[in-house]
Amino acid sequence: MPDRKSTRRTVVIGNWKMHQTGAGGAALAAAIVAGLRPGRAEIAVAPPFTALTAVADAIRGSSIALAGQDVFHEPEGAFTGAVSAPMLAAAGCSLVLVGHSERRHVFGDDDEDVRRKARSVLDAGMRPVVCVGETLEQRDAGQAENVVREQLEATVHGLSDAELAPLAVAYEPVWAIGTGRTATPDTAEAMHRVIRASLASLAGSGTAERTPILYGGSVKGDNAAAILSGANVDGLLVGGASLRADSFLDICHAAG
């Protein structure tokens, strides 16, 4: 039987959050392009909206993909301040993060928002990277598995196996984001197994086997390989360490 993991391509996404202007982002992206050794992993960067066009220019012709950090679910209209999935696609994005814990906890995105955002990303022909993860209180109360299962269920509800083909999931325990406290490789793998089993029961075994499940939360060059060793860990969503070319490249190269 083939190693199932080998059928899923490793994905590494640098989430720049609210960092970098167009000029700074273009310089960072150019340094990543210059330093990236050819490998099997799919590499993407997610700059803020205002830097997307400059970064798209900087990565043109390279293997690096462009990702949006968030999206509003309507395609267009009177929604001041919002950016739609067709706009992100036109700016060169092929992936969009939805449900990042900062969107959920700082901006109040709920499961229904996440579902509509994921759907709009799929409708625009891009890959939604649906972020799920429990808080420390939920983990301490023994609820971690239920929390991620419910977040996932709310998102994939009503979508067919075929519609879900481009889906990616990121497991990001809230207690590990920006804290320097990383889930151990065993904890990450255990949660990724839960997520894959949930996908199988919610959306079928085809979706479960095909969907890359990324880990995020204080990933650095020196812990990336250990986290990626889990059979169900198919990639990394990197925040702080993606803001410097050298530390991001270390992680990309650890991913193969």
Sole binder of ligand PGA in the list 68, 216, 230, 235 (CB under 6 A) = 216
Distance CA 186, CA 165 (A): 27
SS (H, E, C) 203-247: HCHHHHHHCCEEEECCCCCCCHHHHHCCCCCCEEEECHHHCCHHH
20 touches ligand PGA by CB under 6 A: no
Locate 35 and state its tokens. 């330093």
Show Cβ contacts of residue 103 under 8 Å, excluding neighbours closer than 6 positions. 70, 109
Distance CA 207, CA 232 (A): 14
Closest approach, Cβ 204 to ligand PGA, in A, equals 28
15 touches ligand PGA by CB under 6 A: yes
Binding mask of the shown chain, residues 22 to 61, with x at each position contacting ligand PGA by CB under 6 A:
----------------------------------------
173 touches ligand PGA by CB under 6 A: no
238 touches ligand PGA by CB under 6 A: yes
| Number of residues this chain uses to bind ligand PGA (CB under 6 A) | 13
Which of these, 256, 221, 210, lies nearest to 43 by C-alpha position? 256
Show Cβ contacts of residue 242 under 8 Å, excluding neighbours closer than 6 positions. 13, 14, 15, 16, 45, 248, 251
Sole binder of ligand PGA in the list 47, 68, 128, 240 (CB under 6 A) = 240
Sole binder of ligand PGA in the list 50, 178, 229, 246 (CB under 6 A) = 178
Which of these, 116, 195, 204, lies nearest to 160 by C-alpha position? 204
Closest approach, Cβ 46 to ligand PGA, in A, equals 9
- Residue 25 or 217: the one with the smaller Cβ distance to ligand PGA is 217
237 touches ligand PGA by CB under 6 A: yes
Sole binder of ligand PGA in the list 84, 120, 218, 223 (CB under 6 A) = 218
219 touches ligand PGA by CB under 6 A: yes
